[in-house]
RNA sequence: CGGGGCGUGGCGCAGUUUGGCUAGCGCGCCUGCCUUGGGAGCAGGAGGCCGGAGGUUCGAAUCCUCUCGCCCCGACCA
């Protein structure tokens, strides 16, 4: 490709819309442009990167015995009614009607439609295991799209679904995908860490997320530096805490005018936040419940939701709180509450804690479980944090941020049962498929790669996903000798099957170097008067900025060795 | 949905508070000269319904009302 004809409009300045490095570089390097909030056009260079990533995914999926197909983007509402997700998905689903008034959605995911397909055509255990995947656009009307392609409303995803006859076989599918993901991300040059995760609305009992660690990440994870335990904080379990043996003191009301937050209370009473009981009133499927968390801990709504087995969980509004506690917001406490009280382990082990008195401007000291209030249950309800003990080895957990690039789920029969997708087993017995689903955010992976491979000058693409492998830059394209050498090299490298751009623009060298760095070609071959005198050109490795003079007769070999090893 | 901010040429911005005459600047773009190892220089030029609608006024980018779009924080979601 000749740079003079390449549609890669680079920008010198950072567009105001971009905050993340990856987002900025994707715009500046001319990989993509925004069309509307959360929707992007991929320009030729961006598309080439996507295709490289997709090729890696296809190779590994095929190697794991998955077969590619292509499902429709527009899906009928009926299928979603069968699983109940037409209602559950809520505003995040893009919905539309055809001219007859029939309802459809733009697929946010494809479990329903693939299960409906397989139930038609697969009826015997002999046809299993079956693993099917596609690379497709997905649509989710995110409440707030952000970070460019990382949280977009239209995005590209590889999704794979496995159908097995029993748990044992399903575990093999899960493991095969898990291993394939490891290889895929490695080949993309990504350092992706598998972490235990919560299964969320998709459902299922076991799941791992593949996280690319970095400041830009939206998810918080905890990991153990001593063993290989790693989990999303939403999922990470916290240990039961042993009760301190201490004398129970008498309840004592304390006037705390205008003291409403844990921080203020700790300051006011000169008491550590860990001695304070935080009483949070939630509405779980519209019914009020109280959750007790230690003052210095964070409530984990995913855990709460899961334990209560409710579909909706939200903080109660001030009116409800006053109704339930008979006090304004800020003075809720467990004593005398007549709604179910769910107590976190850490609170259950507290002795003589401080809590709200359910009375305006008042708190109570020396609150103790069982003696002063009854728990509906004592469970793990808080968010894990740095310094917590590792459940596996007892080490001290650390936290990190991560971007989720892939997730693997064991679904069980969550979809096959309601959709009546069954087969006959060896004994002629009808059984629902044991399913799994496995996603990779392809467009997001591109951004994640940039997050991990860039410097102040631009992107440093790993060879495996670079839009082109080499750029040839004649310092002065008008110079006859430089042009001749550059053109010859361009020809011979392309003949050898390399992906090459020739920068034939009549720009000054600085402009061409800046663009080459920004776009991030792994190799740059500079054809300039200095080296040419000695019959050489200069090869620059983008990632290290290393400059190597190579004689003209050896360039092809050098490049070949670098790229093909 | 709540809070905050922004919409002025392709990109980045000034001008808006205190209305005023041809709406500016930098970058990019076009033409010519010149230059060619890290975003050169000189000269000339193209390009703007000031997001949109309505209103106030002799006069609106500027004031008022409504509306649309975009970004950030949060709630949300995986």
- Residue–nucleotide distance: A487 CA to B47 C1' (Å): 36
Across all strands, nucleotide nearest A218 (CA–C1'): B78
First to last CA, chain A: 24
Cα-based distances in Å from A535 to A73, A399, A493, A502: 56, 54, 18, 19
| Chain B footprint bases within 7 A of protein beta carbons | 1, 11-13, 26-28, 35-40, 69-78
The highest-level CATH class for domain A468-564 is alpha beta
Structural contact between residues A216 and A146, judged by C-beta atoms closer than 8 angstroms: no
Architecture per CATH, domain A252-379, reads as Alpha-Beta Complex (3.90)
| A513 closest-nt by C1' vs CA | B38
How far in angstroms lies nucleotide B26's C1' from the CA of residue A15? Answer: 15
Nucleotide nearest A507, CA–C1', reads B36
User: Which nucleotide is closest, CA of A148 to its C1'?
Assistant: B71
- Encode pLDDT of A292-320 as tens digits: 999 888 888 888 888 888 877 888 877 78
Q: Quickly give A512 CA vs B51 C1' distance in Å.
A: 36
CATH superfamily membership of A21-233+399-450:
Bira Bifunctional Protein; Domain 2 (3.30.930.10)
CB A542 within 8 A of CB A487: no
- pLDDT at position A154 is 93
Q: Which residues of chain A have pLDDT under 70?
A: 199-205
Q: For chain A, what are the domain ranges?
A: 21-233+399-450, 252-379, 468-564
Q: Residues A116, A119, A121, A122: is their CA dihedral positive or negative?
A: positive
Structure token pair of residue A552 = 């003209």
Distance A548 CA to B36 C1' (A): 22
Q: Using H for helix, E for strand and C for coil, what is the string for A397-446?
A: CEEEEEEEEEEEEEEECCCCCCCCCEEECCCCCEEECEEEEEEEEHHHHH
Residue nearest to nucleotide B39 (CA to C1'): A511
CA of A87 to C1' of B22 (A): 60
The answer to whether the CB of A216 falls within 8 A of the CB of A20 is yes
pLDDT at A203: 52
């Amino acid at each position: 490709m000749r740079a003079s004809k390449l549609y890669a409009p680079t920008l010198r300045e950072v567009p105001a819309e971009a905050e993340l490095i990856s987002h900025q570089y994707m715009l500046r390097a001319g990989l993509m442009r925004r069309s509307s909030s959360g929707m992007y056009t991929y320009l030729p260079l961006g598309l080439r990167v996507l295709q490289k990533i997709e090729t890696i995914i296809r190779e590994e999926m095929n190697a794991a015995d998955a077969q590619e197909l292509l499902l429709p983007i527009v899906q009928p509402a009926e299928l979603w009614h069968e699983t109940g997700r037409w209602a559950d998905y809520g505003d995040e689903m893009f919905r539309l009607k055809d001219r007859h008034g029939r309802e459809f959605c733009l697929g946010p995911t494809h479990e329903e439609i693939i299960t409906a397909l397989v139930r038609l055509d697969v009826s015997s255990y002999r046809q299993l295991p079956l693993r099917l995947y596609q690379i497709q656009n997905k649509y989710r009307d995110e409440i707030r799209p952000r970070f460019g392609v990382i949280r977009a409303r239209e995005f590209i995803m590889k999704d794979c679904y496995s159908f097995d006859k029993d748990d044992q076989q399903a575990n093999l599918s899960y493991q095969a995908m898990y291993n394939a993901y490891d290889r895929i991300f490695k080949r993309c040059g990504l350092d992706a860490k598998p972490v235990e995760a919560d299964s969320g609305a998709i459902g299922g009992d076991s799941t791992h997320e593949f996280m690319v660690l970095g400041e830009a990440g939206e998810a918080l994870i905890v990991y153990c530096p001593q063993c290989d335990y790693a989990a999303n904080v939403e999922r990470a379990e916290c240990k039961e805490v042993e009760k301190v043996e201490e004398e129970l003191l008498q309840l004592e009301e304390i006037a705390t005018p205008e003291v409403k937050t844990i921080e203020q209370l700790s300051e006011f009473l000169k008491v550590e936040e860990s001695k304070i009981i935080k009483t949070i009133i939630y509405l779980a499927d519209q019914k009020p419940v109280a959750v007790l968390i230690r003052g210095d801990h964070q409530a984990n709504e995913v855990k709460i939701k899961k334990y209560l087995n409710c579909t909706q969980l939200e903080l109660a509004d001030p009116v409800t709180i006053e109704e339930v506690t008979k006090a304004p917001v800020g003075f809720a406490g467990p004593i005398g509450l007549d709604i179910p009280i769910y107590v976190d382990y850490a609170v259950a082990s507290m002795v003589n804690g401080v809590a709200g008195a359910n009375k305006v401007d008042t708190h109570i000291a020396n609150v103790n479980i069982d003696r002063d209030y009854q728990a509906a249950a004592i469970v793990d309800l808080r968010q894990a944090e740095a310094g917590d003990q590792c459940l596996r080895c007892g080490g001290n957990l650390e936290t990190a941020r991560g971007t989720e690039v892939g997730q693997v789920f064991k679904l069980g029969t969550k979809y096959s049962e309601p959709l009546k997708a069954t087969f006959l087993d060896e004994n002629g017995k009808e059984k629902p498929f044991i399913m799994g689903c496995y996603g990779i955010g392809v467009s997001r992976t591109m951004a994640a790669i940039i997050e991990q491979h860039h410097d102040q000058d631009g992107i440093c693409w790993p060879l495996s996903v670079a839009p082109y492998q080499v750029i040839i830059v004649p310092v002065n394209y008008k110079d006859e000798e430089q042009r001749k050498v550059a053109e010859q090299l361009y020809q011979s490298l392309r003949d050898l099957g390399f992906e090459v751009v020739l920068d034939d623009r009549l720009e000054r060298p600085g402009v061409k170097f800046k663009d080459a760095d920004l776009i991030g070609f792994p190799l740059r071959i500079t054809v300039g008067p200095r080296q040419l005198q000695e019959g050489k050109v200069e090869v620059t490795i983008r990632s290290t900025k290393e400059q190597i003079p190579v004689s003209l007769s050896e360039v092809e070999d050098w490049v070949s060795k670098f790229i093909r090893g």
